[in-house]
Amino acid sequence: MVALSSLIWCPVLLGILSWLAERRLRGAGNWVTLGALVLLLFVSFYLGAMGDSFVSLSWFSRFNIHFTLFYDGLAQLMVVMTLLLAMLALLVSWREIDRRHGFFHFNLMFSVAGINGVFLAADLFLFFLCWEAMLLPMTALILIWGHENRRYAAIKFFIFTQVSGLLMLLSIIALALFHQHSQGSLSFSLNELQYLDLPIDVQFWLMLGFFIAFAVKLPSVPFHTWLPDAHTQAPTAGSVLLAGILLKTGAYGLIRVLLPLFPEAAMSFAPVAVTLGVISIVYGALMAFSQTDFKRLVAYSSISHMGFILLALFSWQAIALQGAVLVMVAHGISSAGLFCVAGMLQHRLQSRELGEMGGLWASAPRMATVTLVFVMAGIGLPGLANFNGEFLSLLGSFAVYPLHAVAATLAIVGSALYGLRLFQRTFQGPVHTEVEDLQGRELLFCGLLVLALVYFGVQPHLILEASAASLDKLSALASFSEVRP
């Protein structure tokens, strides 16, 4: 119980400790936060070695709300990725943050606590609470440490997430009331609510409340407009957390909450969802190609890649579901790497404009090399992690939605165009300026990201085995819903 719940409350307490340590000694917050993340990583591996864990304590007994946590292979996969990318966010901002260092560390750890809560919660009230909790520190990261238009970006991010979250809250309350009507008591338990026998029209409207909340966070067209602004204006640490982790909470919500709760409604809505997925793939690629801002280009590419997850999940084929999980992990690594490069270039050049770059390979060959690997991963080069996810997503979805899968496949050409254009305009061509190459700490975390992309490119079974049990339940649920009269 203590070990599992510590993944939520420990980041908050250790974030406060980092804040206090930074006030006493400049730079101490970096080391306290790093140590805290390493400690939490060991806890997550310990829990994984113990097998599936389930904890439930009465919380608001009057409303039958419980502090319920569930830790299985899929949850472990997401928690470990959260902690590792939080370390990356810390390392890339080790010297970048120039004010209010202690408060920055607190917000970073508070974000980790909220995100871990989303991945662990098995009570919908707790899920919603953590969903909202991770919004506040992320808004603060953009608002306080962001760039020139940070206020606009932070407010837009907050409004989009808050409004969509309220729609999810209404659906949660309605589910609890339906449970009371049919069973005689309120319930927010994800496990108990899965057995509610709801009319299909009621399922559809409640499912829609969850879908909008998750599609905003994913994000999917037409709920995507907050993302380019938030990414562009966020500090590098904020961009790493947004692209690497926060977007994945939307995908995780679809897997863990929406599809199990509303299988029949999800199947009837699937043609719309997969169409939105393909539109996101194509639109994101086209918009990425038209950008001249490094971070904005990578932000639109994230919209395109997240479209594969929507396409795969609502195809509801076993192979496609596996592809969706692989895309979640691979995109978290490759996009985080590209945002790290964008942040390092902005720190050196005081600019994100591609027109002010060019020929940087001559002065920064190590940076150019790792960027090339990140770009190649993004465009789906075989042998790197992204290829496995996109290939399985397309292979599985083709069996159900062949035209959508073909359109998505053709759109991959767009990723090659904007990815190679990004690399060419930044590192090749006439030399416009010179920059310092990767040194020490930067070379370490960029090298680890490259190794991760290669390793999971040739060993994807490690990710698939971790998520197998959860995905098997979804596949079985889909088969049951198809034959149900």
By the 10 Å C-beta count (0-12 exposed, 13-18 middle, 19+ buried), 448 is classed as middle
Domain positions in the chain: 262-485
DSSP-assigned letter for residue 356:
G
7 pLDDT band, cuts 50/70/90, is: very high
The pLDDT of residue 236: 87
The whole-model pTM stands at: 0.91
Across all residues in the chain, what is the average pLDDT? 89
Q: What is the mean pLDDT of residues 461-485?
A: 72
Alpha-carbon radius of gyration of the chain: 22
Report CA torsion sign: 237, 444, 439, 11.
positive
The pLDDT of residue 410: 84
Q: What is the mean pLDDT of residues 85-89?
A: 92
Task: Quickly list DSSP for 369-435.
Answer: HHHHHHHHHHTT-TTSHHHHHHHHHHHHHHTT-HHHHHHHHHHHHHHHHHHHHHHHHHHSSS-----
The pLDDT of residue 128: 94
Tokens of 398: 């083709």
Helix (H) or strand (E) holding 57: strand 53-60
Within 8 A by CB and 6+ apart from 104, the residues are: 29, 93, 97, 141, 144, 145, 237
pLDDT in tens, 427-439: 888 877 888 888 8
pLDDT in tens, 139-148: 999 999 888 8
Asked if residue 379 has pLDDT above 50, the reply is yes
Asked if residue 343 has pLDDT above 60, the reply is yes
Cα dihedral 74, 76, 78, 84 in deg (nearest 10):
-150
Please check whether residue 239 is in contact with residue 231, taking contact to mean a CB–CB distance below 8 angstroms: yes
478 pLDDT band, cuts 50/70/90, is: low
Q: What is the mean pLDDT of residues 70-91?
A: 92
Asked if residue 485 has pLDDT above 60, the reply is no
Q: What is the mean pLDDT of residues 277-306?
A: 91
Helix ranges, 218-290 (H): 226-233, 236-241, 247-253, 259-261, 263-289
The pLDDT of residue 303: 92
CA 32 vs CA 20, 117, 145, 210, 325: distances in Å: 10, 22, 20, 37, 32
pLDDT in tens, 152-197: 999 999 999 889 999 999 999 999 998 888 888 888 888 888 888 8
Provide the residue type at 10 as one letter.
C
Asked if residue 95 has pLDDT above 90, the reply is no
**Percent of the chain residues topping a pLDDT of 90:** 49
81 pLDDT band, cuts 50/70/90, is: very high
Give yes or no for a cis peptide into 365 (omega within 30° of 0).
no
Q: What is the mean pLDDT of residues 36-50?
A: 91
